[in-house]
Amino acid sequence: MDTKIYDMDKIDIAWCPGCGNFGILKVLKEALSELDISPERLVIVSGIGQAAKTPHYLRANVFNGLHGRALPPATAIKAVNRNLVVIAEGGDGDMYGEGGNHFIHTIRRNPDITNIVHNNMVYGLTKGQASPTSQQGFKTPVQVNGVILEPFNPLAVAIGLGASFVSRAYSDDMKETKEIIKKAIKHKGYALVDLLHPCVTFNRMNDRKWFKEHTYYLGKDYDLTNRDEAFKRATETDKLPLGVFYINKSAMPFEKKLIAYKNNKKPMYEREVNLKKLKNLIASKKG
């Protein structure tokens, strides 16, 4: 499928020139096109923030909901129509801050969705405050003496919860990132892509040079089914590993386990009330 199929006619992109989000948008379109996913079959769910605007810049079905709340509707959309390909996309503040509780419980639920989190370690849209992943010492208009909180470690949390697919990518490495996103989308179950990218306006601490110097790829002999090793790698902070950390192949997707599909495989929108059964249910209340 040609990537042009995802191009919008005319759009006014709200990102700053040089923003890592441009690379992510390009890579996402390429990954989708290589996987032959048509825009009509695709739903991108997002919250609020600069990253959460991504679905407005490519052709797809879109549910752009509330700040922090992309994962619950994404889970439900996949649950009521299993034929759809669902991606939940947003930034670090959206997914790990405001939506932190949903992040935890969506991993537990394990719906077959891909969760792409644009992680630039700063709040962009609200102009430069710390995000949950900001590093200690990072000075902002609010954290005036630098961040004092321990940064949130999404990978360690996800691996700790036995997430079925956990990965980290870096936006400037477009080739590698595309492959990671493709694997995440193909994976049957919840797939996390923690996608590092520079914020050229508000994060001068973690710039392109910093990312180049502080990342490395997990090697070819890395065993991605070894949860202990994955956890160990996820807690490395001097240099951040990139690639797929962990795959839990035994985890069955949420929507495959739903009783509602036991006798009927149709998506919810195609169904009618079974009046005969309702009549019986009512009659059973005669005592």
Residues near another protein (CB under 8 A) are 39-41, 43, 45, 48, 53, 55-56, 59-66, 69, 72-77, 79-81, 83-84, 101-102, 104-105, 258-264, 267-275, 277-279, 281-282, 285-287
Q: Which residues pair with 193 in a beta bridge?
A: 116, 167
Minimum separation from the CB atom of position 268 to another protein (A): 4
Q: Which residue lies nearer to another protein by CB, 223 or 268?
A: 268
209 burial via Cβ count (<10 Å: 0-12, 13-18, 19+): exposed
Angle of the 71-80 helix axis to the 100-109 helix axis, nearest 10: 30
Minimum separation from the CB atom of position 255 to another protein (A): 8
Minimum separation from the CB atom of position 106 to another protein (A): 9
Minimum separation from the CB atom of position 157 to another protein (A): 15
Q: Which residue lies nearer to another protein by CB, 250 or 263?
A: 263
Minimum separation from the CB atom of position 93 to another protein (A): 16
Minimum separation from the CB atom of position 102 to another protein (A): 6
Nearest partner of 86 among 122, 108, 116, 58, judged by Cα: 116
Q: Which residue lies nearer to another protein by CB, 148 or 259?
A: 259
**Sequence-distant (≥ 6) Cβ neighbours of residue 103 within 8 angstroms:** 71, 95, 96, 115, 154, 157
The CA–CA distances, whole Å, from 242 to 12, 65, 231 equal 32, 29, 13
Q: Which residue lies nearer to another protein by CB, 59 or 183?
A: 59
Q: Which residue lies nearer to another protein by CB, 21 or 177?
A: 21
Minimum separation from the CB atom of position 190 to another protein (A): 14
In this structure, what is the dihedral angle of CA atoms 274, 276, 277, 282, given to the nearest 10 degrees?
120
Q: Which residue lies nearer to another protein by CB, 20 or 72?
A: 72
Q: Which residue lies nearer to another protein by CB, 220 or 277?
A: 277
